[in-house]
Amino acid sequence: MTLRIRNLLVVCTGLLVLGVLISDCSSPKPSSTSTPPSASPPATKLWGDMKPVVSVKELMRDMLDPLADNIFDAVSTQITKKGVVNIEPKTDADWEKIRIGAVTLAEGAYLLKVPRPFAPPGDLNNSGGPDPVELSPAQITAKVERDPVEWNARIEALRNVGLEVLDIVKRKDVNELWDAGENLDRACEQCHRSYWYPGEDAKFYQKLNRRMEEFRQSVPAGRTGKPQK
Ligand code: HEC
């Protein structure tokens, strides 16, 4: 704060103490507040280029999928010999792990906006044969290029769940975490169904779905495990 403003403040304070309101007293401000307070730096331009390292498939396998598990695995209902046990975050470390997952999803989702191959070279997905369940990387690329708006909307949907979970972590709201897990599952699956395996049949879906794996050890959230509000 400059000396000038400081002195003015002293004067103003003195005047206010006397109960005298002078409009001038409120006008001198440090130059940084002369722009509208809501204006944050425009985020229209990147600070530099973004270059992909891996394909979408590998980004899923090595980053988004494992870190999403920090959220998926945070709550569950398990049937043990002792009975039905609710797994829920308790310690600060538990919540930190969820936060790490949420930050990774919220920020990492935007890496899907960087054009990159959908699969590593030579990997055609499960796209051969008479009734292919998966689209080939070339087909996925064509679909995204035809309608980038949908692709971006699916990315934003994933990011939004990341933001939702960040907020839940701040409030340590276990009940909402159950819902967030379902929202996350939906954000992943809706994109996959649109771009990756629109031709899936029920059997394939069951095989693939990560939740089915959990099913073997636990009762899915929403049937018995979800706390009633
Ligand atoms: C914006 C769209 C989109 C979202 C959102 C998305 N994925 Fe994917 N994911 C894809 C596409 C497309 C592929 C298939 C790429 C390919 O094989 O060509 C894929 C593939 C995968 C794979 C397969 C990796 C492999 O090695 O075979 C896994 C696992 C995966 N996603 C997990 C997830 C999880 C978990 C989430 C949510 C946290 C998620 N994805 C969200 C688009 C998305």
pLDDT digits (tens, 9 = 90+) for 150-193: 999 999 999 999 999 999 999 999 999 999 999 999 999 999 99
Q: Which domain range does residue 203 map to?
A: 56-219
Q: How many domains in the chain?
A: 2
Question: Is residue 76 located within the same domain as residue 22?
Answer: no
Q: What is the pTM of this model?
A: 0.75
Cα-to-centroid distance, 188 and ligand 1 (Å): 7
Q: Which residues pair with 78 in a beta bridge?
A: 85, 218
Q: Check which CATH number belongs to the domain holding 77 and give it.
A: 1.20.120
Position 209 in a domain: yes
Question: Is residue 19 located within the same domain as residue 74?
Answer: no
Question: Is residue 209 located within the same domain as residue 150?
Answer: yes
Q: To the nearest whole percent, how much of the chain has pLDDT over 70?
A: 69
Lowest mean pLDDT across 4-18, 39-53, 207-221: 4-18
**If phi over 0 gives left and psi between -120 and 50 gives alpha, with beta otherwise, what is residue 71?**
alpha
Question: For ligand 1, which residues put their CB under 6 angstroms from it?
Answer: 56-57, 60-61, 64-65, 68, 112, 118-119, 125, 137, 140, 154-155, 158, 184, 187-188, 191-192, 195-196
pLDDT digits (tens, 9 = 90+) for 111-141: 999 999 999 999 999 899 888 889 999 999 9
User: Could you give phi then psi for residue 118, rounded to 5 degrees?
Assistant: -80, -30
Q: How far apart are CA 54 and CA 67, in angstroms?
A: 17
Task: From the CA of 65, give the closest atom in ligand 1.
Answer: 35
Which 3 state secondary structure label does DSSP give 74?
Answer: coil
Cα-to-centroid distance, 60 and ligand 1 (Å): 5
Position 88 in a domain: yes
Position 43 in a domain: no
Question: Is residue 92 located within the same domain as residue 14?
Answer: no
Task: From the CA of 118, give the closest atom in ligand 1.
Answer: 18
Task: From the CA of 56, give the closest atom in ligand 1.
Answer: 15
Question: Is residue 93 located within the same domain as residue 22?
Answer: no
Cα-to-centroid distance, 37 and ligand 1 (Å): 40
Question: Is residue 72 located within the same domain as residue 152?
Answer: yes
Q: Which of 116, 151, 188 to mutate to test the pocket of ligand 1 (most atoms within 8 A of CB)?
A: 188
Q: Which of 192, 210, 211 to mutate to test the pocket of ligand 1 (most atoms within 8 A of CB)?
A: 192
Q: What is the pLDDT of residue 21?
A: 42
pLDDT digits (tens, 9 = 90+) for 50-99: 999 999 999 999 999 999 999 999 999 999 998 999 999 999 999 999 99
Task: From the CA of 125, give the closest atom in ligand 1.
Answer: 17
Question: Is residue 97 located within the same domain as residue 210?
Answer: yes
Position 44 in a domain: no
Confidence of residue 46 (pLDDT cuts 50, 70, 90): very high
Confidence of residue 14 (pLDDT cuts 50, 70, 90): very low
Q: How far apart are CA 181 and CA 164, in angstroms?
A: 10
